[in-house]
Structures are given as structure tokens and as C-alpha cells.
């Protein structure tokens, strides 16, 4: 039996009816067409499904959609405002931090959350914050450099 | 080596599709939705070896929302496979040969219904005895997986160059050692999949994450017994490949059959467990190596025997075993070489190409043994590499010819940058340095069609479209062909768009494997772009009253050399060219394969199979904790010869990715099978891959010179560096604490056991 889900996604207030066992990832991808968040493992081990809930990084494949009732969810698509990508997104592009791109949305969201709570993270802090975002292509170096480039100047 | 003459080549450029990937706009196959689309799921055998006697799908079909079930009985055509001589797959099988082998597939209105339907499909199996170890599988009386392959040997490859017995007789010192490299998973972040449609005219369209859509077209056509032109395969964005997605998967056959049966689109996306358990993996290999050297370390003879556990189907068997022997002959001058390689069927998940493709296992064995030889003779391991290093102009005893080779420089520069003389042999610090050298092909031309083709089209506003058959799987080949077209036509790379890897609209290309794409597609792009350039130069020449040879294409302008004021904007020239005479199509084509190669002789295997070869030296610095056995990789230094670096950003990305993957291969990544052939760790929880916390700092020294054959002098960078990663680490561990790892992966237990054995020996 479907249940009501009122929540905000990328600044848009939504009112849906969904099956209670649906994950946030499924609702984002299948109900709302936000395919940026990916299913890499379905177990919360790879981070490709990372989205923000009230600014905090969350593994959406392990989150029931109903858990975010009344909350603000941000996906990778939501970082583009008025057709302008977020400087963090541009940093990933320009630093060569993207190869196949499958881990990219999740990594960017984790980084966005980090910079939201700490405007001047150190290299170890960046690595720690992104340790849950597996990447098989890049070896992480350029991902770290891209995030570093967005660290506020002292 | 100056890149100043170039406008795009040699510059670090981000990928042209980077923004799409960074904003969620890039559609991978799981992101595709079509009206009335069904979800498909695969049913795998629970037995490692069993005949499928009967499949009763009636209960599944009775479930609401289930639209169709297909089995091995629905596959009308012939077996397919990577090589014509080893076609052993039907996709949906009537004989299960490993746990998970696909025996049926279902299409339903949603995933849950499809999964529920799987449980309702009743399969009668005749369980057969199974075999899990290659040595057992080769014995008389062992269960036969495929009728055609006696003793389950699907590939046996032999080289015999020179006279190894003579070489050993001339040697001052001989070692014989055994090494074993474990199986691991490619670990692509994207679980693969396919969306298939079938239209009333009889045409299939498949969207899929693949390294070669042309391979799928050929194989699905065979399996379905229809002409290849009735199938269109379109490569979507691909979330990693590393060799795992080159060949056709049962999901391709299943999705096509289900789409035809239901007359609806069918999407099959693998779970992570399936991506790890029923696709491809690194072949675990035992390598016996015997090497004879002179007192100064010069190699006189080398003999290798390699035994690969191939799993249930052939995949690239003959090529992998060929590579295993072949690549041993690249980095060093070897006067006599003998090799016997075997890939054997076992009732386990299938092995296939994986970054290095058979080169990794022997490289690990040879590089570790060379260090052991160096120690036996009291020589510096780096000096032994230098003593034997291949040189520009060499032709090996097997016919490989090196038109460019900077291996010696890579050893010299690499060791210097790594602090080789200062940091090695520091007894008591638990820190050590280890070296490994290697070389790799830029595409191996073994048989059949092997070329790349490109079209370059200029649009009326001066925008350029490159139509490429090559498959970008994240390594950036779309960006590369765009960069090259931009260079030739004098426009920024951002003015170039790329259409690629669609069997209907783009030229045929073998695919992204064997590190061939930059070499082949890059050169084809140069040819196509120059054709267009020539056409436009002729028009510009008449407009500017100059001679075509004096024209320069740069900065979106075409101008006379020396008189830049006599110019025409590129866009304007495009329009003028189009309108010229009765109208003109500004399209150029290029097809390229190296002309300095030969298919290997069928008997002797002699032949130069690659236009050029990359070379590299990897040096690892490690620190070993004697209490816990844990190893920390403090840093990696790489001396690399990939010819001219076309895009430093991409090259650095490949190098960093290789180093990280090397750390994973060395320490963490091990696919473990139970005694009954069941894969025990098909998830990221139990199959560990490196995270941001596991990657060592890295120094890269590029020592290449422009290669005479590669595009603008470029050679490969995708695979050569991974093959030296593991032995460099193993050799460093030996330097640190004197423990020799002969079976991978390196674990704390093995280190501690090694230290204990050392203590026992010292007491005696």
C-alpha cells in the first residue's frame, strides 16, 4: 500500500505516493528521473549513490525514501543553478578528476558536504571524507586535487 | 622534445564529456528508460557442472506482471566467442559449467516481479562431477567441460626461439622458481547492462556498456542466427572496463531474445554480485620460470611454463596465453627463449582480459626472479636491468621490432628520482626499495581485421564532428580524437564534437583493448583530418590567392605563412567550401593499421605484432611493520616511455590509476572460491579495493621521445604500467625485511611467516 512522501529535492517541494520499501535511490532515479546518483553495489559499500540530506552525505541505496519526509535532499543535478555548474563540478572537470564518470556524482556530493561543514579541510581530512567513494579509474589523486582547489584561501 | 609547434597536442585538456559526467547528465545504460520497457533478470545455475534437462517456467509465467521467459532452448543459432577458433558460448546455456552460468532469463514489468519470477522457474538438472583446479582438470578421466577440448586444455601456446639448452649451458648461474598470481575482479564501478529493443521490421537495437559494440553485434547475430546488419549496437557511457567488457555477455543474448518475444524494450542490469561473479576476472596463473645468466647478469636463456585457470569458457584464451609468453620478450634482450602456456577449463567463473591481459603474471615472476638472481650474484638489481635492457632498433628473437625504446633512460631516471642508491639495502630500517621493468604493445595484431577508421566532418559554421568507431570507456579516446582533429584543423578542442561506437553510424573498430586505441584511432584521425584540411586548403588558396602548401590552420583561422593578415576565418572557409561549385561535402576519412607488423607465423609464432612498444620502470618504496606484517607503500616512482605525451592530464590519470590498481592487486584483491566452486566474496564488503586512504604518493618521469609510428609520436599508457606495479612492491618488501613473496596477494600472515622462517634459519 503506497504512502505519502512530502519532501524537497533540489529546492523543489514534492508530494509523492510511494511504496514504503522503496529506497531514496530508487525514488530519485525511477520516480523523479534524477539518474545522477548511481547504484554501484546496492550495499552501501561504494558511495556511488551518495546524495545530500539537509547538507549531510547519505548513502541513498540504504536509506528508505520515507526516512526523508519533510527533509531537503540535494542530488548532483541540484548543484547546477540557472544553467551554471557549481565551481566544485568545474574543478572536477578541469583537474582531470573524471575518467569513466560513474563514481563522480557520489564523490562530488561527498566533497560538497565536506566543504559545507569545513571550508578549509586538510589533505588527510579530504581523503577521510571521500574514503567511502570508491573509484577504480583515477587513483584518487586528481579527485583530491580538485577538492583542494575549492578550499577557501587562508 | 618540443610541443611548442602544436596548438592542442601536448596540452593538458579535460575530457570533452567531463561536464556531462559531473552534472549527472551522462546516461549510463541503467539510466535509460523507454516506453513500455520491461526489466529482465538472469537465472544462474546453482551447480558448478550440470546438464539442464528441463526448464518449467509455467509458475513464473503465471505470476502477474511476468511477460516472458527464455532458456537455452530459445537460442537458435551457433556458439559465439572472441575468436573464431574458440567459440564455445551460447549465452543461455543447456549445460551449466559454473555456479551462476545463465540457464534462463525472465522479463517482467518491474524488478521485484522479475526477481520473484526467478524463484518460480523450476529447472531439472542432471548434476555432473565438477573440477576446480587446472592440474586436476588436465588429468585423464577428469570431467570434461566442453566436448571439443581434450583434457580441458582450451589454449596451449608454445614458443621455441633459439636453443635454450645451449643458452643454459653457456650460463654461469641458473635459477628455477615458481610464482603464483591470484584472481581478482576488474571492479568497474558500473555494474554492466543492456537495453534491447526489437522492431516489427526485424531489427534489434542494443544499448550497452561495452568496450566493443562491434563484437556484440557479431556475436548476438551468431547466437540468434540473423544477419549482423539486423542488429544495431550502441555503446552508452561506460563505467569502467579494464578488459571485462570486451566480449559478449549472456545478458546481451537474453535481452535480445526477450525483446523479440515480448515486442517490448527489455533492460537487464547486473547486480554487483553478478558483475563480480558471472562476468570475467583475472586468470590466476602459476608461472614456472628458469633463467640462465652470465656472471654480470646478462640473460643467456629463459624458459617459462604458465598454467592459467581459465574458468568455464574460453574468452580470450589463445590471446592471453600468447601475450603471457610474448610480453616476456619485450623489456630485455634474450638470446634463447622457450615458452609453454596453457589455459585450462575449470568449473568456475570465466577469466578474461584484464589490464595487462596475461602479461602481469609472468612479469611478476620474471621481475622477482631477476632480483633473486641479482642477490645470488651480488649485483645491483637496477644494474641487471640496465645490462639487459632492450634498445631502439632491436629486433627480438621472436621478431618484435622496437622503433623506439627509452627503457634504459627510464631505469636511470627512475632510480635517480627514487633515491635508489641512497635508500636501498638499509638493514634494520624495515624500509626498502624495489624495481621492476616492463614493456607493452600498442595493440597486438595477431589475425583478422585490426584497424581503426575515422570520419571527420566540418560543419558550415566551422564546427567539427569526428565520427569514430572507437569505444571510450573512460580512458578518454573521444577526447583524444577530438584533440587531434582540433590540432589538424586549427580550432580549439571545444569546437569538436564526437559521435562514436554505434555499429550503424560509425566505422568498424575492434574495440578498446590491447592498448590500441590512441595508436590506431589517433593515426586514423590524423589521416581523416588532413584529407579535410587539404580540401579546404585548396579553396582557401584560391580565395587568398596563395598556394595551398603555404597555408596555416590555427586559432580558428586559415592564413598565409608569414603574412597572417592574408587570412580567412575557419567558419567562413567552411561555408565557402561547402558552396563551392555544385556544393561540396567537407568530409574526410582515414583508416589506419601499422604497416611494420606481421601476423605471427602459425608454427613458429615469429612476427612483429605491434607497430611500437611502450617501456617503463616502476620503483616502489615500502615500510614493513615486523609486528603486524602490514606493509605501507610510501611512494612509487615511475620512469615511463610512452613516446610523446599528447595530453598530460590524461596520461597522469592513467598512471595514477595504474598505481592505485597495483596496490590493490598486490595486497587486497583476491577472489576466493569455495571447494564447490562458489565465489565467496562477490561484493565490495569482502573484495577490497583501494580507497583514498590507500594510494601512495607518486612521481612520474616521462623519458619518451616521439615515436616514428604513433600519432604525433605517442605510444600506449593504459596497460604497461600496471604490469610492473606488483613485482616492484614485492622486490621492495624483500629489500626491507628479506621476505620473498612467491604467492599473491601479499598478506600480513605471509610476511610474518616469512620473518619467522628467517629467524629459524638464522638460529641454525
pLDDT tens-digit profile of B193-221? 999 999 999 999 999 999 999 999 999 99
Torsion, CA B473, CA B474, CA B478, CA B483, rounded to 10: -150
**Partner residue opposite A35 with nearest CB, options B24, B656, B691:** B24
Please enumerate in sequence order all residues whose Cβ is within 8 A of that of B435, keeping only pairs 6 or more positions apart, or say none. B367, B371, B381, B382, B385, B411, B414, B415, B420, B617, B618, B619, B728, B731
**Partner residue opposite A96 with nearest CB, options B475, B653, B659:** B653
The single-letter DSSP state of residue B279 is: S
Smallest CA–CA distance, residue B24 to chain A, in Å, is 4
Cα–Cα distances (Å) from B745 to B286, B338, B388, B664, B750, in that order, read 13, 27, 28, 9, 9
Residue B426 C-alpha cell reads as 638499509
Instruction: From chain A, pick out residues whose CB is under 8 angstroms from the CB of B690.
Output: 139-140
Query: What number is the average pLDDT over the span A22-39?
Result: 98
Q: Percent of chain A at pLDDT above 70?
A: 99
Write a three-state SS string for B359-382: CHHHHHHHHHHHHHHHHHHCCCHH
CB-CB under 8 Å, A80 with B272? no
So where are chain B's domains?
Answer: 18-25+451-592, 32-130+189-240+245-277, 285-345+355-445+600-763
pLDDT higher than threshold 80 for residue B597:
yes
Range from A42-46, A132-136, B507-511 carrying the lowest mean pLDDT: B507-511
- Tell me whether A39 touches chain B (CB under 8 Å): yes
Query: What number is the average pLDDT over the span B478-493?
Result: 98
Q: Percent of chain B at pLDDT above 90?
A: 96
The single-letter DSSP state of residue B135 is: H
Q: Give residue B555's region: left, alpha or beta (phi > 0; psi -120 to 50).
A: left
Q: What is the mean pLDDT of chain B?
A: 96
Q: Give the domain B18-25+451-592 fold.
A: Aldehyde Oxidoreductase; domain 4 (3.30.365)
The single-letter DSSP state of residue B684 is: T
Q: Are A31 and A75 in contact (CB under 8 A)?
A: no
Q: Do domains B18-25+451-592 and B285-345+355-445+600-763 have the same CATH topology?
A: yes
Residue A144 is part of a domain; what is its CATH number?
1.10.150.120
| pLDDT score for B724 | 98
Pairs of residues, one from chain A and one from chain B, whose beta carbons lie less than 8 Å apart: 181
Q: What is the CATH code of the structural domain delimited by B285-345+355-445+600-763?
A: 3.30.365.10
Q: Which helix (H) or strand (E) holds B214?
A: helix B213-224
pLDDT higher than threshold 60 for residue B233:
yes
Same structural domain for residues A123 and A141?
yes
Same structural domain for residues A67 and A133?
no
pLDDT band at A154 (very low <50, low <70, confident <90, very high): low
Same structural domain for residues A69 and A121?
no
Is the bond preceding residue B348 a cis peptide, omega within 30 degrees?
no
pLDDT band at B449 (very low <50, low <70, confident <90, very high): low
- Tell me whether A45 touches chain B (CB under 8 Å): yes
Query: What number is the average pLDDT over the span B574-590?
Result: 89
Instruction: From chain B, pick out residues whose CB is under 8 angstroms from the CB of A133.
Output: 692
Smallest CA–CA distance, residue B478 to chain A, in Å, is 11
Task: Give the CATH superfamily of B32-130+189-240+245-277.
Answer: Aldehyde oxidase/xanthine dehydrogenase, a/b hammerhead (3.90.1170.50)
Q: Percent of chain A at pLDDT above 90?
A: 98
CB-CB under 8 Å, B475 with A136? no
Strand, coil or helix: B481: helix
In order, the DSSP letters of B658-669 are HHHHHHIIIII-
Nearest to B243 by CA among B210, B285, B216: B210
Residue at a domain's end among A78, A98, A132: A78
CB-CB under 8 Å, B24 with A34? yes
Distance of CA B595 to the CA centre of its chain: 23
> Between residues 80 and 119 of chain A, which touch chain B (CB distance below 8 Å)?
80, 85, 89-90, 92-96, 98-105, 108
Candidates A38, A46, A84, A96: best to mutate against B (most CBs of B within 10 A) is: A96
pLDDT band at B2 (very low <50, low <70, confident <90, very high): very low
Domains identified in chain A, total number: 2
Same structural domain for residues A97 and A60?
no
Strand, coil or helix: B494: helix
Task: Residue A102: give the domain boundaries.
Answer: 87-148
Cα of first residue to Cα of last residue in chain A, in angstroms, is: 54
Q: What is the mean pLDDT of chain A?
A: 97
Same structural domain for residues A11 and A48?
yes
Query: What number is the average pLDDT over the span B652-660?
Result: 97
| pLDDT score for B428 | 80
- Tell me whether A77 touches chain B (CB under 8 Å): yes
Smallest CA–CA distance, residue A19 to chain B, in Å, is 12
Smallest CA–CA distance, residue A22 to chain B, in Å, is 11
Instruction: From chain B, pick out residues whose CB is under 8 angstroms from the CB of A104.
Output: 21-22
Residue at a domain's end among A25, A58, A78: A78
Same structural domain for residues A31 and A94?
no
Q: Give a yes or no: residue A52 inside a domain.
A: yes
**Partner residue opposite A140 with nearest CB, options B12, B15, B660:** B660
Cα of first residue to Cα of last residue in chain B, in angstroms, is: 57
pLDDT higher than threshold 50 for residue B726:
yes
Q: Give a yes or no: residue A67 inside a domain.
A: yes
| pLDDT score for B1 | 41
| pLDDT score for B260 | 98
Q: Give a yes or no: residue A154 inside a domain.
A: no
pLDDT tens figures, B82-132: 999 999 999 999 999 999 999 999 999 999 999 999 999 999 999 999 999
pLDDT tens figures, B130-147: 999 999 999 999 999 999
Distance between CA atoms of residues B736 and B732, nearest Å: 6
Smallest CA–CA distance, residue B652 to chain A, in Å, is 9
pLDDT higher than threshold 80 for residue B333:
yes
pLDDT tens figures, B269-291: 999 999 999 999 999 999 999 99
Distance between CA atoms of residues B372 and B352, nearest Å: 30
pLDDT tens figures, B13-28: 999 999 999 999 999 9
Residue A33 is part of a domain; what is its CATH number?
3.10.20.30
Q: Give a yes or no: residue A142 inside a domain.
A: yes
Nearest CA in chain A to B186: A136
| pLDDT score for B582 | 72
Q: Give a yes or no: residue A143 inside a domain.
A: yes
Q: Is A33 exposed, middle or buried (0-12, 13-18, 19+ CB in 10 A)?
A: exposed
CB-CB under 8 Å, B660 with A139? yes
Smallest CA–CA distance, residue B210 to chain A, in Å, is 12
Same structural domain for residues A47 and A91?
no
Distance between CA atoms of residues B636 and B724, nearest Å: 11
Query: What number is the average pLDDT over the span A46-73?
Result: 98
Same structural domain for residues A70 and A41?
yes
Instruction: From chain B, pick out residues whose CB is under 8 angstroms from the CB of A99.
Output: 15, 474-476, 653, 657
Smallest CA–CA distance, residue A15 to chain B, in Å, is 22
Q: Are strands B153-161 and B173-181 parallel, antiparallel or unpaired?
A: unpaired
Residue at a domain's end among A35, A56, A78: A78
Q: Give a yes or no: residue A153 inside a domain.
A: no
Instruction: From chain A, pick out residues whose CB is under 8 angstroms from the CB of B188.
Output: 100, 102, 136
| pLDDT score for B426 | 77
Same structural domain for residues A112 and A74?
no
Candidates A137, A140, A149: best to mutate against B (most CBs of B within 10 A) is: A137
Amino acid at each position: 500500500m503506497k504512502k505519502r512522501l512530502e519532501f524537497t529535492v533540489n529546492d523543489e517541494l514534492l508530494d509523492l505516493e510511494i511504496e514504503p520499501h522503496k529506497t531514496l535511490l530508487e525514488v530519485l532515479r525511477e520516480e523523479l528521473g534524477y539518474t545522477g546518483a548511481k547504484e554501484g553495489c546496492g550495499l552501501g559499500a561504494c558511495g556511488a549513490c551518495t546524495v545530500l540530506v539537509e547538507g549531510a552525505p547519505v548513502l541513498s541505496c540504504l536509506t528508505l525514501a520515507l526516512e526523508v519526509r519533510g527533509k531537503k535532499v540535494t542530488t548532483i543535478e541540484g548543484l547546477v543553478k540557472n544553467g551554471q555548474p557549481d565551481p566544485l563540478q568545474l574543478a572536477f572537470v578541469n583537474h582531470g578528476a573524471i575518467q569513466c564518470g560513474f563514481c563522480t556524482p557520489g564523490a562530488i556530493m561527498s566533497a560538497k558536504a565536506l566543504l559545507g561543514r569545513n571550508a578549509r579541510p586538510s589533505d588527510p581530512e579530504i581523503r577521510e571524507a571521500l574514503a567511502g567513494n570508491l573509484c577504480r579509474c583515477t587513483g584518487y589523486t586528481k579527485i583530491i586535487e580538485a577538492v583542494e582547489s575549492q578550499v577557501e584561501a587562508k | 622534445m618540443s610541443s611548442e609547434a602544436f596548438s592542442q597536442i601536448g596540452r593538458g585538456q579535460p575530457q570533452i564529456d567531463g561536464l556531462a559526467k559531473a552534472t549527472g547528465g551522462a546516461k549510463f545504460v541503467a539510466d535509460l528508460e523507454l516506453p513500455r520497457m520491461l526489466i529482465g533478470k538472469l537465472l544462474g545455475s546453482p551447480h558448478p557442472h550440470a546438464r539442464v534437462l528441463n526448464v518449467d517456467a509455467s509458475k513464473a509465467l503465471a505470476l502477474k506482471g511476468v511477460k516472458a521467459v527464455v532458456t537455452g532452448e530459445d537460442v537458435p543459432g551457433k556458439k559465439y566467442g572472441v575468436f573464431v577458433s574458440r567459440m564455445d558460448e551460447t549465452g543461455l546455456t543447456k549445460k551449466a559449467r559454473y555456479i551462476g552460468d545463465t540457464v534462463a532469463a525472465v522479463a517482467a514489468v518491474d524488478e521485484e516481479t522479475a526477481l520473484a519470477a526467478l524463484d518460480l522457474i523450476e529447472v531439472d538438472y542432471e548434476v555432473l562431477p565438477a573440477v576446480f583446479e587446472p592440474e586436476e582438470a588436465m588429468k585423464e578421466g577428469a570431467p570434461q567441460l566442453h566436448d571439443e577440448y581434450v583434457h580441458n586444455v582450451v589454449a596451449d601456446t608454445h614458443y621455441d626461439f633459439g636453443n635454450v639448452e645451449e643458452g643454459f649451458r653457456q650460463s654461469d648461474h641458473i635459477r628455477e622458481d615458481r610464482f603464483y598470481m591470484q584472481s581478482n575482479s576488474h571492479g568497474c564501478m558500473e555494474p554492466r547492462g543492456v537495453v534491447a529493443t526489437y522492431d516489427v521490421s526485424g531489427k534489434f537495437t542494443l544499448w550497452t556498456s561495452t568496450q566493443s559494440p562491434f563484437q556484440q553485434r557479431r556475436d548476438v547475430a551468431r547466437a540468434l542466427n540473423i544477419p549482423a546488419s539486423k542488429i544495431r549496437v550502441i555503446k552508452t557511457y561506460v563505467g569502467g572496463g579494464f578488459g571485462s567488457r570486451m566480449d559478449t555477455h549472456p545478458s546481451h543474448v537474453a535481452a535480445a531474445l526477450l525483446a523479440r518475444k515480448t515486442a517490448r524494450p527489455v533492460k537487464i542490469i547486473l547486480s554487483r554480485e553478478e558483475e563480480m561473479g558471472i562476468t570475467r576476472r583475472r586468470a590466476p596463473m602459476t608461472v614456472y620460470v628458469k633463467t640462465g645468466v652470465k656472471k654480470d647478469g646478462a640473460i643467456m636463456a629463459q624458459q617459462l611454463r604458465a598454467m592459467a585457470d581459465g574458468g568455464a569458457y574460453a574468452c580470450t584464451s589463445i590471446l592471453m596465453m600468447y601475450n603471457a609468453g610474448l610480453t616476456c620478450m619485450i623489456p630485455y634482450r634474450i638470446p634463447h627463449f622457450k615458452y609453454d602456456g596453457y589455459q585450462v577449463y575449470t568449473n568456475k567463473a570465466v577469466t578474461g582480459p584484464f589490464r595487462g591481459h596475461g602479461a602481469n603474471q609472468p612479469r611478476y615472476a620474471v621481475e622477482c626472479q631477476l632480483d633473486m638472481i641479482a642477490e645470488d650474484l651480488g649485483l645491483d638489481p637496477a644494474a641487471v636491468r640496465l645490462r639487459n635492457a632492450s634498445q631502439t632498433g632491436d629486433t627480438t628473437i621472436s621478431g618484435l621490432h622496437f622503433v623506439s625504446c627509452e627503457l634504459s633512460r627510464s631505469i636511470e631516471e627512475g632510480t635517480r628520482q627514487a633515491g635508489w642508491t641512497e635508500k636501498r639495502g638499509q638493514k634494520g630500517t624495515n624500509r626498502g626499495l624495489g624495481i621492476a621493468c616492463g614493456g607493452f604493445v600498442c595493440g597486438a595484431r595477431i589475425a583478422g581485421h585490426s584497424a581503426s577508421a575515422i570520419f571527420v566532418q566540418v560543419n558550415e559554421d566551422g564546427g567539427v564532428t569526428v565520427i569514430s568507431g572507437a569505444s571510450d570507456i573512460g580512458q578518454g579516446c573521444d577526447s583524444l580524437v577530438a584533440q587531434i582533429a582540433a590540432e589538424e584543423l586549427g580550432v580549439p578542442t571545444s569546437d569538436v564534437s564526437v559521435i562514436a561506437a554505434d555499429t550503424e553510424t560509425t566505422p568498424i573498430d575492434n574495440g578498446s583493448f590491447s592498448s590500441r586505441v590512441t595508436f590506431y584511432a589517433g593515426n586514423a584521425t590524423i589521416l581523416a583530418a588532413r584529407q579535410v584540411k587539404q580540401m579546404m586548403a585548396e579553396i582557401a588558396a584560391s580565395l587568398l590567392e596563395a598556394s595551398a602548401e603555404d597555408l596555416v590552420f590555427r586559432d580558428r583561422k586559415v592564413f598565409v605563412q608569414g603574412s597572417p593578415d592574408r587570412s580567412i576565418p575557419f567558419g567562413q572557409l567552411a561555408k565557402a567550401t561547402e558552396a563551392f561549385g555544385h556544393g561540396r561535402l567537407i568530409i574526410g576519412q582515414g583508416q589506419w593499421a601499422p604497416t611494420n607488423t606481421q601476423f605471427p607465423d602459425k608454427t613458429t609464432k615469429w612476427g612483429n605484432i605491434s607497430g611500437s612498444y611502450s617501456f617503463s620502470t616502476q620503483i616502489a618504496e615500502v615500510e614493513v611493520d615486523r609486528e603486524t606484517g602490514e606493509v605501507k607503500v610510501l611512494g612509487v616512482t615511475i620512469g615511463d616511455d610512452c613516446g610523446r605525451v599528447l595530453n598530460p592530464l590524461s596520461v597522469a590519470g592513467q598512471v595514477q590509476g595504474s598505481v592505485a590498481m597495483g596496490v590493490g592487486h598486490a595486497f587486497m584483491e583476491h577472489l576466493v572460491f569455495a571447494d564447490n566452486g562458489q565465489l565467496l566474496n562477490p561484493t565490495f564488503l569482502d573484495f577490497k579495493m583501494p580507497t583514498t586512504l590507500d594510494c601512495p604518493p607518486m612521481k612520474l618521469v616521462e623519458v619518451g621521445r616521439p615515436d616514428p609510428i604513433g600519432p604525433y609520436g605517442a605510444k600506449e599508457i593504459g596497460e604497461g604500467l600496471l604490469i610492473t606495479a606488483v613485482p616492484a612492491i614485492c622486490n621492495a618488501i624483500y629489500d626491507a625485511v628479506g621476505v620473498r613473496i612467491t604467492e599473491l596477494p601479499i598478506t600480513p600472515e605471509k610476511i610474518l611467516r616469512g620473518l619467522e622462517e628467517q629467524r629459524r634459519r638464522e638460529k641454525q
